[in-house]
Amino acid sequence: MNNTAVETPGLRIVADENIPALERFFGDLGTLRRCPGRTLSREQLSGADILLVRSVTEVNQSLLQGTPVRFVGSCTIGTDHLDIPWLERNGIHWSAAPGCNANAVVEYVFCALAALEVDWRGRSFGIVGCGNVGGLLQKRLHALGASCAVYDPWLPDNPDSAPLAQVLGRDIVCLHAPLVKGGRYPSLHMIGPEQLSHIRDGAVLISAGRGAVLDSRALLQRLKRKPCFRTVLDVWENEPEIDTELLQRVDLATPHIAGYSDDGKLAGTRQVREGLSALMDLALPPMAPETSGNSATIRIVPGNARSGEADLGAGQGGAMADLLLQMYDPRVDDRRLREAASDTEPMAQGFDRLRREYPKRLEFCHYTAPAEVLNEEELQQLAVLGLMCK
């Protein structure tokens, strides 16, 4: 749906067509026009007061110079696509949605391990970047009794802080750092050839933060060597023009959807509305809490893990892994991305299409499982992850 409009009086709003629940959260504020975020142009903003984007839109002087835009809201946790110094110098308010999809990304990590048939229990974790996502993962790991080490130069007092080389030497390494291109602690290509040498053979590397934190050419060269570690990539350098040779080498590949739960996307839209209300002093009426549209819990039982389109099996992770894969199976997204790469459609178009047409995905809290089929340890661990068993 491109360049369609909902007519109501008030503010003139231009928004990325892929932002969910726009009408619910912004339809009462003015004229709402949806546009493709990847190709958004200055001309489309010639009459706009408000710009709402996701991470695919670079918001800078080139886009906004000469437009009447007074507020930019990004319904995402990251802000590397916003030229914040330029916005602030020009008196343009901005807001983002930090933490809105952190829970979804943490759930992605555990489902990815289940898909790889990796039993995380008894393994050590390394977390690079301990903001909203990495911090929540750390909290869950503590609750699960798992060992973890953290590298985040912005948080030197973190109780699990360790040198980067030690963090990368853990059994399971999770990259959740934001993309920072300058300043005291830049993260662009922070994980390069030297850093990759610290990842042990047989380990698992999961990158679900920002693609350019990891040097993709260095990773490709490392993966060509045998033996090596297993790799899960959700974020890529140069999205949507991702490296298809690297795609062929990784164990699990998804199109930047780790945080694409319905719950997380709705939370992001709500947070930006709240930011608009506060920064523009609009005193907007409060909105009812967002829901996924599914108030009833979905009952699942071990032994039914399927892809939704093909039987992919439950792996060797036991009942716990089986239940995780029923709630979200990243192998489905992996298969779709590889099919897009082998199609006649250009890779960039296929990558964006998969994100645009992403099916509804509910977080663990919407599911329940029978307690009698699980042991006490599994019940406690699933409760930490958010699945209710009764």
Asked if 249 contacts 220 with a C-beta cutoff of 8 angstroms, the reply is: yes
pLDDT confidence of residue 216: 97
pLDDT confidence of residue 291: 52
pLDDT digits (tens, 9 = 90+) for 324-348: 999 999 999 999 999 999 989 999 9
List residues forming the annotated binding site for NAD(+): 152, 234, 259
Q: What does the radius of gyration of the chain's CA atoms come to, in whole angstroms?
A: 21
| Residue in 222, 230, 256, 331 annotated catalytic | 256
Give, as one character, the DSSP assignment of residue 191. Answer: B
Token pair for residue 97? 């949605």
| Residue in 237, 239, 290, 363 annotated catalytic | 239
pLDDT digits (tens, 9 = 90+) for 355-368: 999 999 999 999 99
pLDDT confidence of residue 296: 63
- The CA distance from 334 to 254, in Å, is 5
Give, as one character, the DSSP assignment of residue 348. Answer: H
Residue 184 Rama label (left phi>0; alpha psi -120 to 50; beta): alpha
What pTM does this model have? Answer: 0.90
Asked if 284 contacts 367 with a C-beta cutoff of 8 angstroms, the reply is: no
**How does strand 230-233 pair with strand 367-369?**
unpaired
Residue type, 321: A
Residue spans of the chain under pLDDT 70:
1-9, 286-296, 304-317
The class of domain 5-96 in CATH terms is alpha beta
- The CA distance from 283 to 116, in Å, is 48
| Nearest CA-CA partner of 199 in 128, 121, 286 | 128
Question: Does the active-site annotation cover 239?
Answer: yes
pLDDT confidence of residue 260: 95
Superfamily of domain 102-259+299-389 in CATH is NAD(P)-binding Rossmann-like Domain (3.40.50.720)
pLDDT confidence of residue 63: 97
pLDDT confidence of residue 295: 56
Task: Name every residue whose Cβ is closer than 8 Å to that of residue 81 and which is 6 or more positions away in sequence.
Answer: 53, 55, 56, 57, 58, 59, 74
Question: Does the active-site annotation cover 256?
Answer: yes
pLDDT confidence of residue 388: 82
Burial of 386 (0-12, 13-18, 19+ CB in 10 A): middle
pLDDT confidence of residue 5: 45
Query: Cα dist. 24→11, 85, 134, 267, 356 in Å?
Result: 15, 31, 30, 12, 19
List residues forming the annotated binding site for substrate: 55, 76, 260
pLDDT confidence of residue 44: 96
| Residue in 210, 331, 361, 366 annotated catalytic | 210
Going from N- to C-terminal start, the domains of the chain cover 5-96, 102-259+299-389
Instruction: Name the 3-class secondary structure at 373.
Output: helix
List residues forming the annotated binding site: 55, 76, 152, 234, 259-260
